[in-house]
Amino acid sequence: MATFILSYPDRAFVPRGGEPKAGSASAAFTQWLALCDEIHRAQGRILVLDPTMAGEVSSVYSGLLGAPFLAPGKLPQPLFLRAHFGEVAQEDAVHKAIAEAGLVVQAAQHRWQGQVDVIPVGRNRFILTHGGSEQGSSVQAEEEVKALLPLGAQTLSVELSATCPRGSAAMCCITDPSNKPLLLISRKALKSHTPEQIGPFVGTQVEMAILSEEDVAVFATECLNVRGTLILPVGCSTILRGLLLRRGFRFAEVDVSHLVGENGGGPHVLACELPGLVLSDEAPSYLLRRERLHILCSEYET
């Protein structure tokens, strides 16, 4: 079962780059619940974190909390590497919750945005991204990540363009129901490479689709693949939808505009995937907390 970490907005929530507005936290919470319902409908499991600040970043942006490294080989046990935004992450509420889920937590020592800058492309190959916006990951952090990847992993370091906030906004590799990989990629998001230069690294078994400006603008690469169901941001083009349908994907659209704000983003930035990790029945899952969360949302100012 696919497992994700998500954290709901608190009453004072303001999206990144936005301004406080009456009712904005309520609207964001409503969208967050809709996203969780779609993940649950696709048979995903959700570990719910109570809202907190993880350094400079709200835990609502769970894709920026860090990344799990669960593969055997280099590691004696599963590990979660916490993101680094200007300072080394401390043992906070996020640290405690992830540790209780069964992962050893380690803090990155260099600026690193987490899972959004690690792009698995199959066959033990990973694209590691850095640069881009001022908040982007550093090259030094890539060495920390490489040390945690499975034995024999091959990596490609890609620098993002100044307008791209993170690797997941530039590309994603999704596997269709027939187990064939598809790489969605934005040409203008890349600085050090072109899609054609990335092609040989991912291999001929991976089909590549270069996205239109329309799909780049709505962060189509930040969809969530939950057991073959793609949860897409609102506004994806009919061309992309047609491609996904031909590849056998089921998909649903979820509006996350009140959650991501003016800076933009897709569902992936709001969810940290824990592939291969099974939550215990006692973990604070969305299924167990759903009714209480809906009641809490109804109490927010509208």
b/e per residue, 77-98, with b = 16+ CB within 10 A? Answer: ebbbbbbbbeeebeeeebbebb
Note the pLDDT of residue 73.
Answer: 57
CA–CA gap between residue 241 and residue 249 (Å, rounded): 9
Alpha-carbon dihedral angle through residues 196, 202, 204, 208, given to the nearest 10 degrees? -60
**Which pTM value belongs to this model?**
0.94
Residues written for the chain: 302
Note the pLDDT of residue 78.
Answer: 82
From 36, 38, 65, select the one nearest 48 (Cα to Cα).
36
> What does the pLDDT look like over 160-172, one tens digit per residue?
999 999 999 999 9
| Tokens linked to 266 | 């897709």
> What does the pLDDT look like over 121-174, one tens digit per residue?
999 999 999 999 888 999 999 999 999 999 899 999 999 999 999 999 999 999
Helix H segments across 7-138?
Answer: 24-41, 93-100
Going from the N-terminus, what domains does the chain have, and what CATH number goes with each?
3-298 (3.75.10.10)
From 73, 85, 79, select the one nearest 134 (Cα to Cα).
85
